[in-house]
């Protein structure tokens, strides 16, 4: 294990472990981190963080935040997170369809923002399910 990773939400530490590699959902795209990465501070989008431990990938859904990479330590401050061990793909697909419909029906800016956030969360669950199914 080469990287020390801590994921901290407002109410708890979601993840505190060592890993070989991490892929973060940064606001500019997927960001891969390996041992020896240069220091970096980046904004995170809603999406799936993938962590490789003992050559197996584990998905964690992040609900936006920031990540600091420095000296093989990754500190991630997030608005919320879900550690995923299993996902019902049919339920996730249903949630995605509902989120798409709610976004299409949204009238006010507030409704559009909330619907967009729900759509991103639903897409992240589908992505996490794909990570789990490919393990």
Beta strand 3-8 with 73-78: parallel, antiparallel or unpaired? parallel
Angle at 115 (CA atoms; ends 111, 118), nearest 5 degrees? 145
Distance CA 42, CA 100 (A): 28
Of 74 and 88, which is predicted with more confidence?
74
User: Each residue of 91-124: pLDDT tens digit?
Assistant: 777 877 888 888 888 888 888 888 888 888 888 8
Q: Global pTM? A: 0.76
Cβ(50)–Cβ(23) below 8 Å: yes
- What pLDDT is attached to residue 134? 64
Residue 18 clears pLDDT 90, i.e. is over it: yes
Share of the chain above pLDDT 70, in %: 92
What domains sit in the chain, N to C, each tagged with a CATH number?
3-83 (2.60.15.10), 89-133 (1.10.287)
Measured between alpha carbons, how far is 26 from 95 in angstroms, rounded to an integer? 23
Burial class (CB in 10 A: 0-12, 13-18, 19+), 77: middle
Greatest Cα pair distance, the chain, in angstroms, is 49
Average of per-residue pLDDT across 78-91: 76
């Amino acid at each position: 294990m080469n990287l020390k990773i801590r994921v901290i939400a407002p109410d708890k530490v979601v993840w505190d472990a060592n890993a070989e590699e991490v892929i973060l959902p940064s606001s500019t795209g997927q960001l891969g981190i390996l041992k020896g990465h240069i220091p970096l501070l980046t904004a995170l989008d809603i999406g799936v963080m993938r962590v490789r431990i003992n050559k197996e990938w584990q998905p964690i859904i992040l609900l936006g935040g920031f990540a600091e990479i420095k000296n093989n330590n990754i500190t991630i401050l997030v608005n919320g997170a879900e550690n995923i061990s299993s996902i019902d793909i049919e339920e996730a697909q249903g949630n995605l369809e509902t989120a798409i419909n709610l976004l299409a029906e949204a009238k006010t800016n507030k409704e559009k923002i909330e619907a967009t956030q729900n759509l991103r969360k639903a897409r992240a669950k589908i992505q996490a399910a794909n990570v789990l199914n490919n393990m």
